[in-house]
């Protein structure tokens, strides 16, 4: 179930900084420019939105939703990130 | 002076997105993804916060062709570095190809 605006952050004007900060410690779903998606627990991010995630699952969307699960921590290069979905569970498989 | 001075240090946006706040917009990304949602926030780097977002899925055989398929994403942050186009949701429509030459048969 996806989050709505009001329940997540009751503030007037939103920004990437505020929203992603709020998400630290919880699950986040990252959609890349290509057909790859990542779901993990957000540990942190930097000014370039490189992200440190743990308990990560990687999804390839094109070949019928193949799933690759990785544990521990990853550093995700922010170069190819298109969308960030707080509380997201990833694509339907 | 009609042109912006080169000495101006302050980064100014050429377009004010605040007029689209709380309005539905369509966004296209590098890599071909397209989405629409209600604009809830933005910053000077063009990072966007969209609510009630839906993504328009592309044809697996032709990466540039949209299908009827969509998926609900909800509250989403869009990276400004990936955004290539922003327009109001009702600001575009598909039209028949105006460039096709009719062959004499």
At residue A11 the predicted structure's pLDDT band, cuts being 50, 70 and 90, is very low
Tokens of B20: 């689209």
Residue with tokens 């539905």: B24
* pLDDT given at position A9: 47
Q: What is the CA radius of gyration of chain B?
A: 18
pLDDT of residue B5: 56
User: Distance between CA B77 and CA B48 in Å, rounded?
Assistant: 6
Are A83 and B40 within 8 A, CB to CB? no
Tens of pLDDT, residue by residue over B5-29, are 555 556 667 788 889 999 999 999 9
Nearest to A90 by CA among A55, A39, A54: A39
Residue A54 token pair: 């743990």
Q: What is the pLDDT of residue A64?
A: 74
Query: Which residues from B are below 8 Å from A89, CB to CB?
Result: none
**Pairwise CB contact (< 8 Å): A3 & B76:** no
**Which B positions 8-67 lie with beta carbon below 8 A of chain A?**
21, 29-31, 33, 35, 40-43, 47, 49, 51-53, 55, 60
pTM attached to this predicted model: 0.80
Using an 8 Å Cβ cutoff, are B38 and B26 in contact? no
Residues of chain B with pLDDT under 50: 105
User: Virtual CA dihedral for B55, B60, B64, B67, nearest 10 degrees?
Assistant: -50
Task: Determine contact, residues B86/B21, Cβ cutoff 8 Å.
Answer: no
């Amino acid at each position: 179930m996806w989050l709505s605006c009001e329940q997540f952050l009751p503030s007037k004007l939103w920004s990437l900084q505020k929203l992603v900060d709020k998400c630290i410690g919880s699950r986040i779903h990252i959609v890349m420019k290509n057909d790859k998606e990542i779901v993990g627990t957000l540990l942190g991010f930097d000014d370039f939105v490189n992200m440190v995630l743990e308990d990560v699952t990687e999804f390839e969307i094109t070949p019928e939703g193949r799933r690759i699960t990785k544990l521990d921590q990853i550093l995700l290069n922010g170069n190819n990130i298109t969308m960030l979905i707080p509380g997201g569970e990833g694509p339907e498989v | 002076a009609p042109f912006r001075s080169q000495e101006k240090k302050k980064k100014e946006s050429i377009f004010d997105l605040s007029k689209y706040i709380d309005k539905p917009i369509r966004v296209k990304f590098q890599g071909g993804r397209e989405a629409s949602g209600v604009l809830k926030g933005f910053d000077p780097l063009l990072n966007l916060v969209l609510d009630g977002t839906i993504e328009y899925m592309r044809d697996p055989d032709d990466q540039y062709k949209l299908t009827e398929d969509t998926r609900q994403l909800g509250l989403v942050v869009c990276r400004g570095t990936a955004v290539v186009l922003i327009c109001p949701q009702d600001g575009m429509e598909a039209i028949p190809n105006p460039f096709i030459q009719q062959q004499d048969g």
